[in-house]
């Protein structure tokens, strides 16, 4: 019986090539799009779920009140992990990680690499498999280092060759490779090329036991059977009970929520990435649904053809369930073809899609689960697409169809109308969303940053650069390669530090006010291109006391309630800073958020970065070459690395750009699939009404009139879809925009534009068939009766 189904299904596919093409093409695109998105979703939801002990793994969060709000953040004191292990019996193990970048030297090879300071507990707690070395003791020794396979190969050529070898870190410390770790999977929050023992931090003086310095990530493994609530209740006062930090509480955040639920508002977990994941999962479902609707519409529109077959089969004794089974088998067969084609498309587009999503996605062909899911996906698609046609077609009464009284309804009967409206509602809503997302992106990009990004470059201060900074600075200025140079604590595109430890005359002692903190040595405003609105720049040459000078931004002046900020004293611990100037607000962090209050401290502080403005008169290449020579002269062991600020700044829009590109892509595909279906329906309608058109033409109807007659029904549906889609898209986008303080107002033109675009697209799709039917010679269609 099944053979019989497949046989007739196959012959039907071959006989109606046009419909088969539309059905398979639509389903293929729909399935491929959905599969790509689901691949991404699967990756997102599987983040750090491969750790064997994941149910007992937690990261530590602080929470405290600032500016009247309860803030939560996951950088913690370095001492916390040790204290957790020592003082809390609920904790089986604890570890911490601190990112670091070092120069690696092996023979002649020199490279800057990023890794973690951590300890043996990290290897014990997390399930990152080792390919070489002893798991139990990999990081026990103070001079041991664990490399990832990738780094081991880069440094030594192979894992085996790396084992037991020595690597030089910076110019002064040697470590022995004790283990090589499998490269990190693409679904973990951890990003490192190597692990160094925490003891080295201590040795170089970067470790501290200060409970007020929140700078590392702390992870805890609870003992089996200890509940989150119990542990939280015990641990929450760890900071208070071990220090004079009486305002900070601590809580545990479970591994299953690290990736998708990392947003806290006023102390409450309010989701996070999960909303994007949900949104894309919904989009995947909708695209698949649209493709399935094509199948439903075209299958039921062709019902007259199939009705006779249904009648005969019923008379020959087929019960309805068997007929339903037969039609489902057909749709599953089509879904199978589409699924296989989609698999090819997914494989081909995977590298592009990976680039778009910023993560290396792959199809796990060797996994049985993958194939089970693949088959499940095909069955699901086949059943969704085939169920309505199956129930519809199998419901025909044999006496009607066999006596010829059965008249297939117009191509646009009520259920099909609803389905077309659903398709176009989704398509139009996606068009509107795409336009709004793109406008918001543009809005952010065109916002005045407050400084000049062109020709502005920065490099990390590494090796001997700090020691020779003055000489480097003078050489660079003398070479003519730069027109300005300044040392800072962080890149101008990032805020690395913030503090609430400042006080000044007139400050309410109970109020905690948090500032972004930036350190500069001089020539800061000139090099970066900031505007001074009051006072002057920090200048240690002219004003020797400027080592403790301070600049504020306008937002800081406002929050500190200074009428005349210049000359005021600001205390930080025992240090007294004096304000010498005020700069115009500039964007340090998110271009979509208001500029936060910022304190810019003078030369008596720490520095990591050197910013320099390239001389615009000379070519960029010549400038960089001169600078490289100077860097090499004073810091020969380190490679010359630099970052253009405008490129760095553009990365701030990566997420929006990504969403914008994906939205455009999927809106385009949705529109395409919907139009494919519309084209199919229009074709069928033109065939169905051929006699009517002939009669009308004989009676004197013009081609334009008939074209209008044939198009108007479809256009009505598109207009209804627009009416449904517009408020939905408006609501969705208003919610989305709420995530941005600096945002666009949704303009009525977006809707008018999207409405016009969709009507034009629909019209272009239908008109081909409508005009073709209208210009056909009526003699032919009438004679064929």
Partner 1 sequence: MVKEEKMIKITDLEKFYRTEEVETVALNRLSLEVKKGEFVAIMGPSGCGKSTLLNIIGMLDDPDGGSYVFNGTEIAHYSERKRADLRKHNIGFVFQSFNLIDELTVFENVELPLIYTGVAAADRVKRVEEVLDKMQIMHRRNHYPQQLSGGQQQRVAIARAVVNKPKLILADEPTGNLDSSNGNEVMELLTDLNEQGTTIVMVTHSEHDARYSHRIIRLLDGHTVVENIMI
Of 314 and 611, nearer to partner 1 (C-beta) is 314
Q: How far is the CB of 408 from partner 1 (least distance, A)?
A: 16
Of 257 and 308, nearer to partner 1 (C-beta) is 308
Q: How far is the CB of 277 from partner 1 (least distance, A)?
A: 45
Residue 573's CB is within 10 A of a number of other CB atoms, namely 8
How many residues in the chain?
785
- CA separation for the pair 280, 785 (Å, rounded): 51
Of 15 and 780, nearer to partner 1 (C-beta) is 15
Virtual torsion, Cα 155, 156, 159, 162, nearest 10 deg: -100
Query: What's the token pair of residue 563?
Result: 């009428």
Q: How far is the CB of 685 from partner 1 (least distance, A)?
A: 23
Q: How far is the CB of 415 from partner 1 (least distance, A)?
A: 21
Of 316 and 621, nearer to partner 1 (C-beta) is 316
Question: Which DSSP string do the residues of 53-119 spell out, in sequence order?
Answer: TGGGEEEEEEEEEETTEEEEE--B-TTHHHHHHHH-TTEEEEEEEEEEEEEEEETTEEEEEEEEEE-
Q: How far is the CB of 345 from partner 1 (least distance, A)?
A: 30
Q: How far is the CB of 307 from partner 1 (least distance, A)?
A: 11
* 30 touches 290 (CB < 8 A): yes
Helix-helix angle 703-737:654-688, to 10 degrees? 150
SS3 510: coil
Of 291 and 324, nearer to partner 1 (C-beta) is 324
SS3 599: strand
Q: How far is the CB of 316 from partner 1 (least distance, A)?
A: 4
DSSP state of 278: H
Q: Which residue has the tokens 């291109």?
A: 529
How many CA atoms lie within 13 Å of 593's alpha carbon, on the beta-carbon side? Answer: 9
Radius of gyration of the chain (CA): 34
Of 398 and 529, nearer to partner 1 (C-beta) is 398
Question: Which DSSP string do the residues of 522-588 spell out, in sequence order?
Answer: S-HHHHHTPPEEEE----TTT-GGGGGEEEEEHHHHHHHT-SS-TT-EEEETTEEEEEEEEEPP--S
Q: How far is the CB of 1 from partner 1 (least distance, A)?
A: 5
Rounded to a whole number of angstroms, the distance between the first and last alpha carbons of the chain is 36
Of 18 and 480, nearer to partner 1 (C-beta) is 18
- CA separation for the pair 690, 669 (Å, rounded): 31
- Distances in Å between the Cα of 148 and the Cα atoms of 115, 178, 416, 422, 532 are 10, 11, 57, 50, 48
Q: How far is the CB of 686 from partner 1 (least distance, A)?
A: 22
Of 315 and 471, nearer to partner 1 (C-beta) is 315
Which stretches of the chain bind partner 1, using CB under 8 A?
1, 4, 7-8, 11-12, 15, 308-309, 311-319, 322, 397-399, 402-404
Q: How far is the CB of 399 from partner 1 (least distance, A)?
A: 5
Q: How far is the CB of 784 from partner 1 (least distance, A)?
A: 16
Of 334 and 773, nearer to partner 1 (C-beta) is 334
* 476 touches 627 (CB < 8 A): yes
User: Quick one: which of 427, 780, 743 has its CA closest to 594?
Assistant: 743
How many CA atoms lie within 13 Å of 516's alpha carbon, on the beta-carbon side? Answer: 26
Of 287 and 307, nearer to partner 1 (C-beta) is 307
Residues 6+ apart with CB under 8 A from 579: 535, 549, 550, 551, 552, 562, 565, 566, 567, 568, 569, 570
Of 339 and 398, nearer to partner 1 (C-beta) is 398
Of 13 and 457, nearer to partner 1 (C-beta) is 13
Q: How far is the CB of 402 from partner 1 (least distance, A)?
A: 5
* 434 touches 742 (CB < 8 A): no
């Amino acid at each position: 019986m099944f053979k019989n189904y497949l046989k007739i299904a196959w012959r039907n596919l071959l006989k109606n090539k046009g419909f088969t093409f539309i059905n398979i093409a639509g389903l293929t695109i729909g399935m491929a799009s959905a599969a790509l998105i689901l691949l991404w979703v699967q990756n997102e939801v599987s983040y750090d779920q491969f750790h064997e002990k994941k149910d007992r793994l937690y990261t530590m969060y602080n929470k405290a009140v600032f500016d009247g709000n309860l803030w939560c953040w996951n950088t913690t004191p370095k001492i916390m992990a040790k204290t957790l292990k020592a003082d809390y019996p609920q904790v089986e193990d604890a570890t911490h990680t601190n990112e670091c970048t070092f120069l690696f030297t092996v023979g002649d090879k020199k490279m800057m690499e990023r890794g973690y300071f951590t300890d043996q507990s990290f290897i014990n707690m997390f399930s990152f498999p080792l390919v070489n070395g002893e798991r139990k003791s990999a990081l026990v020794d103070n001079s041991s280092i664990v490399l990832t396979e990738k780094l081991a190969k880069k440094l030594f050529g192979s894992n085996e060759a790396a084992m037991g070898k020595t690597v030089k870190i910076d110019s002064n410390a040697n470590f022995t490779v004790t283990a090589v770790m499998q490269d990190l999977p693409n679904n973990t929050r951890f990003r490192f090329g190597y692990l160094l023992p925490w003891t080295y931090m201590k040795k170089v003086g970067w470790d501290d036991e200060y409970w007020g310095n929140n700078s590392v990530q702390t992870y805890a493994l609870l003992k089996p059977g200890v509940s989150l609530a119990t542990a939280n209740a015990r641990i929450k006062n760890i900071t208070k009970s071990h220090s004079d930090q009486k305002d900070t509480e601590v809580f545990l955040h479970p591994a299953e929520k690290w990736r998708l639920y990392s947003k806290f508002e006023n102390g409450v977990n309010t989701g996070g990435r999960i909303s994007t994941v949900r949104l894309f999962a919904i989009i995947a479902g909708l695209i698949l649904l649209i493709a399935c609707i094509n199948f439903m519409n075209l299958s039921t529109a062709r019902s007259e053809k199939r009705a006779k077959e249904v009648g005969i089969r019923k008379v020959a004794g087929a019960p309805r369930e068997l007929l339903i089974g037969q039609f489902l088998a057909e749709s599953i067969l089509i879904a199978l073809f589409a699924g296989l084609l989609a698999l090819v498309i997914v494989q081909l587009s995977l590298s592009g899609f990976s680039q778009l999503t910023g993560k290396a996605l792959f199809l796990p062909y060797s996994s049985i689960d993958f194939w089970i899911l693949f088959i499940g996906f095909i069955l699901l698609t086949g059943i969704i697409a085939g169920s309505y046609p199956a129930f519809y077609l199998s419901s025909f009464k044999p006496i009607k169809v066999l006596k010829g009284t059965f008249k297939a309804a117009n191509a646009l009967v009520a259920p099909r109308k609803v389905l077309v409206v659903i398709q176009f509602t989704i398509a139009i809503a996606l068009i509107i969303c795409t336009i709004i997302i793109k406008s918001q992106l543009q809005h952010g990009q065109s916002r005045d940053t407050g400084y000049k990004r062109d020709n502005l470059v920065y490099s990390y201060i590494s090796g001997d650069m700090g020691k020779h900074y003055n000489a480097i600075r003078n050489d660079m200025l003398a070479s003519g390669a730069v027109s300005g140079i300044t040392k800072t604590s962080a890149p101008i595109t990032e805020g690395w530090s913030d503090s609430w430890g400042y006080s000044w005359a007139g400050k309410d002692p109970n109020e905690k006010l948090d500032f972004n903190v930036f350190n500069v040595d001089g020539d800061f405003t000139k090099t970066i291109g900031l505007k001074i609105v009051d006072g002057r720049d920090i200048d240690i040459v002219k004003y020797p006391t400027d080592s403790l000078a301070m600049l504020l931004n306008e937002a800081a002046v406002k929050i500190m309630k200074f009428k005349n900020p210049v000359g005021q004293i600001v205390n930080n611990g025992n240090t007294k800073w004096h304000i010498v100037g005020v700069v115009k607000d500039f964007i340090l962090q998110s271009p979509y958020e208001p500029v936060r209050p910022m304190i810019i401290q003078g030369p008596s502080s720490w520095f990591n970065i050197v910013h320099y403005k390239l001389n615009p008169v000379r070519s960029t290449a010549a400038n960089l070459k001169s600078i490289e020579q100077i860097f090499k002269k004073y810091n020969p062991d380190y490679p010359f690395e630099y970052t253009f600020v405008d490129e760095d700044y553009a990365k701030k829009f990566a997420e929006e750009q990504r969403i914008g590109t994906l939205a455009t892509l999927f809106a385009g595909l949705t529109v395409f699939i919907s139009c494919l279906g519309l084209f199919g329906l229009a074709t069928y309608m033109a065939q169905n009404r051929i006699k009517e058109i002939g009669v009308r033409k004989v009676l004197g109807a013009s081609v334009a009139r008939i074209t209008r007659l044939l198009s108007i029904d479809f256009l009505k549906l598109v207009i209804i879809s627009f009416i449904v889609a517009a408020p939905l898209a408006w609501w969705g986008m208003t919610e989305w925009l709420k995530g941005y303080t600096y945002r666009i107002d949704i303009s009525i033109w977006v809707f008018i534009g999207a409405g016009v675009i969709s009507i034009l697209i629909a019209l272009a799709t239908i008109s081909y068939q409508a005009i073709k039917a209208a210009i056909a010679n009526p003699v032919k269609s009438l004679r064929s009766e």
